Amino acid sequence: MSSKMNPMDPASYNHKHARVNGINYHYVDEGGHNDQVIVLAHGFPDLWYGWRYQIPYLVKLGYRVIVPDFRGYGQTDAPHIEPGDKEGIRTYGLKNICKDMAQLLDVAVGPNSRAIFIGHDWGAMSVWRMCLHYPERVQAVGAICVPFNPPNNEYVTPEQLVKAWPQWKYQLWFIKSTTDQELNSDIPRALACTFRGAGENTGLIAASSINQLPTNPDRSPKMKLSEKEFEYYCKQFARTGFHGPLNWYRTRRVNFEDEQGDLARRITIPALMVLAEEDAALPPVMARNMPALVSKLTMKELKTAHFVMMEKPNELNVIIGDWLKAIGAGASKL
């Protein structure tokens, strides 16, 4: 682990800002500028900080690691979108998020540069879609919790989605415009109810209003979140609130539209899929079709709930490190 980077101290990382795809982006950039680049992509409701244990580990292995706060999160701009603004919400769609990542690489590394992309939750969705929208920029891809699924031929409404996967009922709450203010009204409560470990109350995803959440929830001991770490999350979410993060859930229609056309339906580059055995929202069974869709697939499981990077950081690091070594990351075979 780098002597400079301290996972307990967000300020100990190398923070940068850049103009990317029309907005101001914040990202962490660690490692040597001539090293193989890895981009780490966070999900909901997370930040670059969700990868705080993986960044120093990967830098120690010899990688350059770039970790953004995504559009809508933390110190990156969170454009406000009025309800019903279809073109506005498109800016939070996965195709545009992929454009964000491509342009961030242009700025941070150089035009047409390539990287290994690893994502969690919505970040995993984003890196899978990066393989479709910008395949020339992706050397290898890794995902935590969210499996690859090819573009749909028919639009699936949120209601149809929940009928197929009832554990996603919370998404019907998240897409309501009133939910922004509900969660903004008590950010510590919302976050404490989300960062839950294996075998614990599933919190936010089991609710359909903030009134269904515990009033003063304890922080999960399995997440190992210190008071200082939790305060950083709360402070960052207080900057722009939940409007930006929840907008990602409101992109279902535009994501479908953006994926109509001649996009790949299989992943042929080296890929890692890390499943969380006790993820209430994304159980491992959802990845059962992946071997038929991803030709160079490595699949692993960890006995954790959804936030693998916090609950089992060391075990996850070993899995990622072993995979990178196995695929010859940085060598000519990639």
Beta bridge partners of 301: 275
Q: Which domain holds residue 114?
A: 10-326
In the predicted structure, residue 91 carries a pLDDT above the cut 80: yes
Q: How confident is the model at residue 101 (pLDDT cuts 50, 70, 90)?
A: very high
Q: Which listed residue (243, 249, 258, 279) is catalytic? A: 249
Asked if 249 is an active-site residue, the reply is yes
| Cα–chain center distance at 249 | 13
In the predicted structure, residue 2 carries a pLDDT above the cut 70: no
143 close to 274: Cβ distance less than 8 angstroms: yes
Decide if 177 is inside a domain. Answer: yes
Q: H or E element: which one contains 21?
A: none
pLDDT value for 171: 96
In the predicted structure, residue 305 carries a pLDDT above the cut 50: yes
319 close to 302: Cβ distance less than 8 angstroms: yes
Asked if 29 is an active-site residue, the reply is no
Amino acid found at 174 = F
In the predicted structure, residue 152 carries a pLDDT above the cut 70: yes
Distance CA 296, CA 142 (A): 11
Q: How confident is the model at residue 3 (pLDDT cuts 50, 70, 90)?
A: low
- Taking only the tens place, the pLDDT of each residue in 259-292 is 999 999 999 999 999 999 999 999 999 999 999 9
Q: What are phi and psi of 133, to 5 degrees?
A: -85, -30
Decide if 67 is inside a domain. Answer: yes
Q: How confident is the model at residue 139 (pLDDT cuts 50, 70, 90)?
A: very high
294 close to 267: Cβ distance less than 8 angstroms: yes
Quickly tell me which residue has 């959440």 as its tokens: 213
Quickly tell me which residue has 């995803």 as its tokens: 205
In the predicted structure, residue 332 carries a pLDDT above the cut 60: no
- pTM of the model as a whole: 0.96
Q: What total number of domains does the chain contain?
A: 1
Decide if 3 is inside a domain. Answer: no
Question: For position 322, which CATH number holds?
Answer: 3.40.50.1820
Nearest to 183 by CA among 216, 202, 211: 211
Distance CA 268, CA 63 (A): 23
Decide if 55 is inside a domain. Answer: yes
Q: Which listed residue (26, 42, 133, 306) is catalytic? A: 306
Q: Which listed residue (46, 100, 121, 279) is catalytic? A: 121
Decide if 331 is inside a domain. Answer: no
- Taking only the tens place, the pLDDT of each residue in 206-226 is 788 888 888 878 888 888 889
Token pair, residue 60, equals 């120690």
Asked if 53 is an active-site residue, the reply is no
Nearest to 128 by CA among 314, 292, 280, 267: 267
In the predicted structure, residue 21 carries a pLDDT above the cut 60: yes
Decide if 4 is inside a domain. Answer: no
Angle, CA 253 vertex, CA 259 and CA 180 arms, to 5°: 130
